[in-house]
């Protein structure tokens, strides 16, 4: 009778009967534990709302350049195009926090969908006004209507915070992914918009962005299982009072972004490489996107460490531009971009930590508003310095903005900004 594989083998050695153990089966390779992002998207519903979030977020990087190319192409005035887009940005800074407050109070699906419809109608109105050569004031009125666009990034972060409220490590990974998604959309959005406006027709960028915004928002808000619950407002829970110390940090960070972009455009234009501007700026965003994903797999660092690193990295473009080497400048911008994502992830986590429960979307929108204000200030300041000093010296402005943010953290609010981050 043949022996089974599990039975011991018998052998005779002299007069001794020996039982020998069966040959051991080859060891199976231990299954590799899933990575942090794989575990993140294994949660039910997360892939669906993230898909809608990315579709609706891409237009964020498309609307500005689409409007400029559309208006300038039809009206022949960059001054008018810039004034219209600046008006829309200012209106968003005013209306955005109120829209976010309504989202927190009544729910994402109930508020975001009608707010998006108003914004889409504003975009369509802008297209029609430009196409029919309507009076200039109609362009401003249409652009103001787009200010109701909900903060899709804030709503997505609010969902992650609700789902991962008992897992700080996973929450850090989710916030890093969201920052990488921001960078990806700002990297791809302008390129897609510029291609559509130039290859198809001037209104194609704005029209496509409006369709993507509405489609993505409908898909995002249809995922009701992951939507955070609404909560009645409580007396004394205004997020503005809670996040005000942090807004002083987000303002110079926005100044950094705005001045870096304008100065890079001027620097490349001075070397006759204006056509490569989009590629170089995309390289900077790609560095930030990659760093954001990598940072999400690591243990969170302190905001002070991130700002010190950012301050050192922002000196690199200034030094590279001084050499006149475009290759060094591109590498410096890549490295500078890699320092921004960890800083933004950590700073936004502080917003989560101090914002009252049930007001998270409003708190994050206030932070975004401060960034927009800083971007506007940085763009205007850099433009003035470029006209007066040339395209190289203004690279000192992003480095100075990073140092200012670090100084604010170390001296102005040493107690309120150094507490331990919690997940709401």
Report DSSP state, residue 237.
Answer: -
What's the pLDDT score for residue 417?
46
Residue extents of the structural domains in the chain: 46-229, 239-424
pLDDT of residue 27: 53
The total of other beta-carbon atoms located within 10 Å of residue 359's CB is: 25
- pLDDT score, position 276: 64
Integer Cα distance of 391 and 374 in angstroms: 20
Q: What is the pLDDT of residue 207?
A: 94
Q: 393 to each of 262, 263, 331, 368, 401, how far by Cα in Å?
A: 12, 9, 18, 28, 14
Do 239-424 and 46-229 have the same topology in CATH?
yes
Give me the pLDDT at residue 262, please. 78
CATH class, range 239-424: mainly alpha
Which pLDDT does position 350 carry in this prediction?
84
Assess contact for 240 and 98: CB atoms under 8 A: no
Q: Which residues pair with 13 in a beta bridge?
A: 16
Which residues in the chain show pLDDT less than 50?
1-22, 24-25, 414-424
Q: Give residue 264's pLDDT.
A: 82
**pLDDT the model gives residue 400:** 94
State how far the Cα of 370 lies from the Cα of 368, in Å rounded to an integer.
5
Please tell me the predicted confidence (pLDDT) of residue 237. 61
Is it true that domain 46-229 has CATH number 1.10.10.10? no
Burial degree of 387 (CB within 10 A; 0-12, 13-18, 19+): exposed
């Amino acid at each position: 009778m043949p022996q089974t594989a599990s039975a011991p083998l018998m052998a005779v050695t002299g007069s001794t009967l020996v039982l020998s153990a069966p040959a051991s089966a080859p060891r199976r390779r231990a299954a590799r534990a899933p990575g942090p992002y794989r575990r993140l998207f294994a949660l039910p519903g997360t892939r669906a709302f993230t898909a809608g979030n990315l579709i609706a977020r891409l237009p964020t990087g498309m609307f500005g350049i689409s409007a400029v190319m559309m208006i300038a192409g039809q009206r022949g005035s960059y001054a008018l195009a810039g004034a219209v887009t600046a008006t829309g940005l200012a209106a968003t800074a005013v209306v955005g926090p109120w829209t976010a407050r309504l989202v927190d109070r009544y729910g994402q699906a109930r508020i975001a969908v009608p707010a998006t419809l108003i914004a889409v109608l504003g975009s369509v109105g802008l297209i029609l006004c430009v196409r029919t050569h309507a009076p200039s004031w109609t362009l401003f009125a249409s652009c103001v209507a787009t200010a109701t666009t909900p903060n899709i990034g804030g709503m997505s972060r609010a969902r992650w915070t609700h789902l991962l409220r008992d897992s700080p490590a996973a929450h850090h990974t989710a916030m890093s992914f969201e920052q990488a998604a921001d960078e990806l959309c700002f990297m791809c959005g302008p390129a897609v918009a510029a291609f559509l406006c130039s290859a198809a027709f001037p209104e194609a960028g704005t029209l496509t962005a409006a369709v993507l915004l509405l489609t993505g928002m409908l898909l995002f808000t249809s995922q009701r299982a992951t939507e955070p619950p609404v909560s009645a407002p409580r007396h004394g829970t205004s997020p503005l009072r809670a996040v005000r110390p942090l807004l002083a940090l987000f303002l110079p960070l926005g100044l950094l972004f705005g001045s870096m972009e304008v100065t890079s455009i001027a620097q490349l234009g001075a070397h006759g490489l204006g056509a490569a501007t989009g590629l170089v700026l995309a390289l900077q965003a790609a560095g930030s996107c990659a760093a954001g994903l990598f940072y999400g797999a690591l243990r969170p660092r302190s905001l002070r460490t991130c700002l010190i690193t950012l301050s050192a990295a922002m000196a690199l473009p200034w030094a590279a531009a001084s050499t006149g080497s475009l290759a060094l400048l591109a590498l410096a911008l890549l490295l500078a971009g890699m320092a921004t994502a960890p800083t933004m992830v950590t700073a936004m986590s502080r917003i989560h930590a101090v914002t009252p429960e049930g007001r998270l979307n409003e708190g994050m929108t206030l932070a975004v508003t401060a960034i927009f204000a800083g971007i506007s200030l940085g763009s205007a300041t850099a433009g003035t310095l470029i006209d007066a000093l040339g395209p190289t010296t203004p690279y000192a402005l992003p480095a100075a903005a990073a140092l200012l943010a670090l100084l604010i953290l170390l001296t102005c609010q040493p107690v309120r900004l150094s507490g331990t981050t919690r997940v709401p």
